[in-house]
Structure 1
């Protein structure tokens, strides 16, 4: 195909016509990403023979998605989540050797600035009907305990809401804590047995889930961010074994290796115990 022919748009040559307009001085990575986006997007349109009415509906959907976004809510991230894109990007960028703890999505409710607490602190500030002891050991790939590991944890309350969703209702930093391991690599703290909850489904993404016959629920989980200099930071959840939504998480965050036991405890104030060990992967040194 001559350069003159490429200048004119045809159905068959649509990809070549669009990508030929990318300038020679364009950043190489941007040129690669955009040219491949055009390739796959045009292939999709041709594959489904997209109608003008359907394209109009898509434009309206994307417009309404943007209109739902503000400094407290990001509907586009929610869309990325329910399409599995967030998890795919996370998986590509956090490949680890066998035995290292796997990542999952961060989620929208992490908070910076939570104070460090003594090991064993109860992070539930509004009382708990189902108190749970979380414990385990942080090691390297050879099983050696790691000292000085920062463990940032957070979860919903027993009604399925995070503190930042209910300012003035829940205490600040409710069900949140930061702990640092000692020489034995152990961690332990008191919290609650988390509950499953729906992602926000009152916007375009929720409407899309409904049209697809999908529910908006996430299985119960505790969030962990495990970090130490010289190692990959682990951003992950531990999921409550036996939860009804494990196999149908609305954002595809569940990995088999992250399903944790939550064992009942007989007698005493704590009703549940969840043991999960973290294995950190050393960061590549360039």
Structure 2
């Protein structure tokens, strides 16, 4: 089979805030390890999708549903010679959590979907329907809201009886406190000492535990947060040079090297794509 170029297209919902679709075709591109602030729901359409997530390696074949919780570190690549094709739906917690709560998930802000990969025809159909509404601009607000709630109901039906226990281990709570500190200070020049102090752990013990919990180092996590926030500024039309400066990248080349392994295109290409959509 003749290989095609790697292609990534992003479509933002015109009706719902912070809901985005990625349409991807790839052969020789590999995502670096990263995380999104949104819930990510994907469907493999062709080829095989190989990725690391949840401290395990996965192989997704056509028809499988892939799920990443907010902040869950993952990577991705094509696992075979055939072109990998997939759709990914990104939904911010602010959109999904109220629906999950209404559908029967208690403590939706603490809720984590425990499965990374599923064979669930009903959820798959909802993801693909939602993606097509957004890509083709055929859905109105009511239609998209109803389809999104249908997804939430399906998730609640699968996981409503096994909601996350709100009594987290103390070590997890301390690591989450450090993680929140990073989120709140992404423009600062932080040291390992400052971050580890939030968890009341020695800095190297903290470093080891953080990497075990999140799959990347605190420095990599901070860069990932900056990339996600920078992406939002690019979507808003903020000048590229201002974005580079705001998030502490040494120059555009440095920003390119960090951005492309996460979104499949350069920041300039991403901004042009979003503003012309």
Higher helix share: 2
TM band (smaller chain): under 0.3
- TM-score of the two chains, using structure 2 as the length reference: 0.24
